[in-house]
Amino acid sequence: MTTSQSEQMKVIVQALNKEPFNKSYNLISFDALEPLQRLQVLNDVLSIIDPKQSLDLREETPDQTAVRIFQLLRVLKYKPPDSVNLNQFRVGLVQGEKPIIYPILEWLLPRVPELQKRAYLAKYLLKIDVPADIMQDDEVSGIYMQYEELMEQFKELHKQSQQLASSGFNTTEIRKDITNMEEEKEQLIKRIERLRRKVESHPNSQVMMNVAKNLRVERDREKRVAVQRQEQMTNIQHLDQRIKRMENQLRDMRQASVGATPDSMVERLEEETRANGYIVKEQLPKDIASRRKMIQDLQKVVAVPAMGQSDLDDLNNQITSLNAEVNQLIEQRMRSGDPTEDKLSLFRQQAGIIAHKKEAAAAGLREMREELNKTNQEVEQKRELVSSVEGAEVLKGEDFKRYVNKLRSKSTIYKKKRSELAELRAESGVLMRTDDILNQRNQLINKQLGIVETKAGVSGYRETQENLEKVSATKSELDEVKGRTLEDMSEMVRRMHAEISERRNVLAPILREIRPLRERVQSLTPEYDDKKQVYERTSAGLESNMSKLEQEVRGFSEECRAEESRYHYLHCMMGVLRQQQERIAQEMKAYVSHDQAEKKKTLRETYSRKIQEQENLGRNLRERQKTVRENHDPNIKQMKMWRDLERILQCKTNCLEQISSIGSNLTGGRGLQMGVGEAPPTLLEDDRLVL
């Protein structure tokens, strides 16, 4: 087991031991599962995602299990690994193989909540495939349209429910918020009543109310003016960007028109028209047809049920037989092809090569156009990003150097201002401390004044006087702000008019340059149309004549090739006949010659001699065969006798070895009884004992 597979198993086992599966596996027990048990684990995981999948696999056939799991995996948008083809995936899933089941479990387990939602939606959003002939019925089509409308309503309602669920509000929180808002409302009402009574008791209440009302109106008006100003600034930025785009387009058009003539422009347009026409009329229909065929093939593959190994073997055998049949037909065609067809195949091959080149060029053109469009979009996005962030385009060359110098000067000014700001902050700290001390003294003085006013019977006089002074000061400030706002608006409008007039002055010479060119184009357009019609008529006549001449040339060329092939064939046949004639002349010369050595070199003598040798050899072989047949039985008998003799000698040898081993064992016990020179007894005195 590899490291990657062990890590895969570890992740799967950890996920299965958690909620909602609550399994009790470890790596050893999970790896030791049988294929059916492994497939049951996969089915249990799928049943958590879709409760309809909850069943025992022993209650259904393997084909039904495979179809059911395939359909659910297709709904969940599971993609098999690239190293496994579709047939291997189907067979491995049916047989519960580890390399197929483990990647599926590893993909499913981390995505259970998401896949549960997908399975729930698929139950209501998967459209029913209705055949086209049935859809021709008006009632069926109306019901199907109603079905699609209900499906759209379900989508909208589901989105709303998801938004409400994700908003984080519930009824208790809303009620609590309403209660809090009502309490705050009551408190505000009480506070407003208290302030109203306090204001009404004041002698200058009406004047102060009018002033406050005017203040509120002016603030609202100030907000509206600020919004309008922001809108105007935004419009100015959009107009600046549009002017820059137009200037860039004009610059590009001028660069493209440098050295261009009407003829070159017309040729370029015609070339683009031809290329686009080829793409639209030939390339795109082929692409569409190939995509449709691929979709049909995929639909067929999806519709085919699970295949076993026997089905795959049958298909492979069928493919092999069809390939062999195709090869035989090609060989027959090559053998039976006439020379004219062989010559035409060259032109067909050239036409095919040219067609492939055109397709490759069209594909390259389409890719380059897509890349150009993508690059233009990226450039526009970068320009918009730069203009939105910095308010200007990307600088290059001298502009960039000037921008760097400007940044350096700004950096120097920034450092200077920062030092001044530090000094001002230090001074502000001192002033704040002074202000605190003065406020403390002011509070003491106010307390003393309050005591004096109370003693004099005019309490609150100073506060009222200060409020009136504050209101008057606020009014004067508002008047100043209003005046400044009006001045700023008038200045901005004047600046906008000046900028617009300046842009008009800049664009005026460009428009004056373009105006005669437009007039010239309008004057040349009728002439161009007339010459184009003449050219098209002349071109059509020349093409018709050229097609006729090409047909005649093609016919003459085919006739010439046929005659050339016939000439070469006859020339070869004449060479063969010439060689045969020379051989016959040599044979006749040798046969008529009186020289025996020359006669022996003739084919007749040579073949006669070889025939005689073969006859003698056959005769000798027949005699040997006869001798072998006659001596076969005696030889077999003699061979059996020799074999029996060999067995007898082998048996004697074995007996001698046994006797010698027995004698050596008995020598020690009988040595005292034997006299000097007495030979020991032996069993070889009589050969019958051995036998």
- Digit-coded pLDDT (tens) for 11-29: 888 888 887 787 888 888 8
Is the pLDDT assigned to residue 673 strictly greater than 50? no
Q: Is 130 left (phi over 0), alpha (psi -120 to 50) or beta?
A: beta
Q: Which of 203-207, 243-247, 671-675 bottoms out in mean pLDDT, i.e. has the lowest?
A: 671-675
Q: Domain 3-126: which topology? A: Actin-binding Protein, T-fimbrin; domain 1 (1.10.418)
Note the pLDDT tens digit of each residue in 158-209: 887 777 766 655 667 777 878 888 888 888 888 888 877 777 777 777 777 7
The structure's pTM equals 0.29
Q: How confident is the model at residue 304 (pLDDT cuts 50, 70, 90)?
A: low
Secondary structure (3-state) at 507: helix
Residues 662 and 397: their CA atoms lie apart, in Å, by 121
Task: Spell out a b/e string for 482-510, using b for 16 or more CB atoms within 10 Å of the CB, else e.
Answer: eeebeeeeeeeeeeeeeeeeeeeeeeeee
Q: How confident is the model at residue 672 (pLDDT cuts 50, 70, 90)?
A: very low
pLDDT at residue 168, rounded to an integer: 55
> Distance from first CA to last CA of the chain, Å, rounded?
69
pLDDT at residue 445, rounded to an integer: 80
pLDDT at residue 260, rounded to an integer: 64
Note the pLDDT tens digit of each residue in 323-360: 888 878 877 766 665 544 455 666 666 777 777 777 77
Residues 399 and 391: their CA atoms lie apart, in Å, by 15
Note the pLDDT tens digit of each residue in 415-454: 888 888 888 888 888 888 888 888 888 788 877 777 776 7
Q: Is the bond preceding 526 in cis, omega lying within 30 degrees of 0?
A: no
Q: How confident is the model at residue 390 (pLDDT cuts 50, 70, 90)?
A: very low
pLDDT at residue 369, rounded to an integer: 79
Note the pLDDT tens digit of each residue in 392-404: 555 555 666 777 7
Which two three-digit tokens encode residue 608?
């006669």
Secondary structure (3-state) at 130: coil
Residues 337 and 319: their CA atoms lie apart, in Å, by 26
Q: Is 341 left (phi over 0), alpha (psi -120 to 50) or beta?
A: alpha
pLDDT at residue 121, rounded to an integer: 81
Residues 69 and 72: their CA atoms lie apart, in Å, by 5
Is the pLDDT assigned to residue 288 strictly greater than 90? no
Average pLDDT of the residues in 34-53: 84
Transcribe 623-665 into DSSP letters. HHHHHHHHTHHHHHHHHHHHHHHHHHHHHHHHHHHHHHHHHHH
Percentage of the chain surpassing pLDDT 70?
A: 84
Residues 395 and 405: their CA atoms lie apart, in Å, by 13
Residues 199 and 59: their CA atoms lie apart, in Å, by 88
Integer-rounded Cα Rg, in Å, for the chain is 55
pLDDT at residue 666, rounded to an integer: 66
Name the average pLDDT for the chain.
78
Which two three-digit tokens encode residue 479?
């008047």
Percentage of the chain surpassing pLDDT 90?
A: 4
Q: Are 588 and 365 in contact (CB under 8 A)?
A: no
Note the pLDDT tens digit of each residue in 444-494: 887 777 777 677 666 666 666 676 677 767 767 777 776 677 677 767 777
| Sign of the alpha-carbon dihedral angle for 309, 311, 316, 320 | positive
Q: Are 22 and 35 in contact (CB under 8 A)?
A: no
Q: Are 101 and 93 in contact (CB under 8 A)?
A: yes
Q: Are 691 and 653 in contact (CB under 8 A)?
A: no
Interacting residues of 61 by C-beta distance below 8 A, sequence separation 6+? none
Nearest to 76 by CA among 41, 34, 42: 42
Task: Spell out a b/e string for 570-608, using b for 16 or more CB atoms within 10 Å of the CB, else e.
Answer: eeeeeeeeeeeeeeeeeeeebeeeeeeeeeeebeeeeee
pLDDT at residue 8, rounded to an integer: 80
Average pLDDT of the residues in 237-254: 82
Question: Please, where are the H alpha helices in 258-338?
Answer: 262-278, 284-303, 309-336
pLDDT at residue 389, rounded to an integer: 56
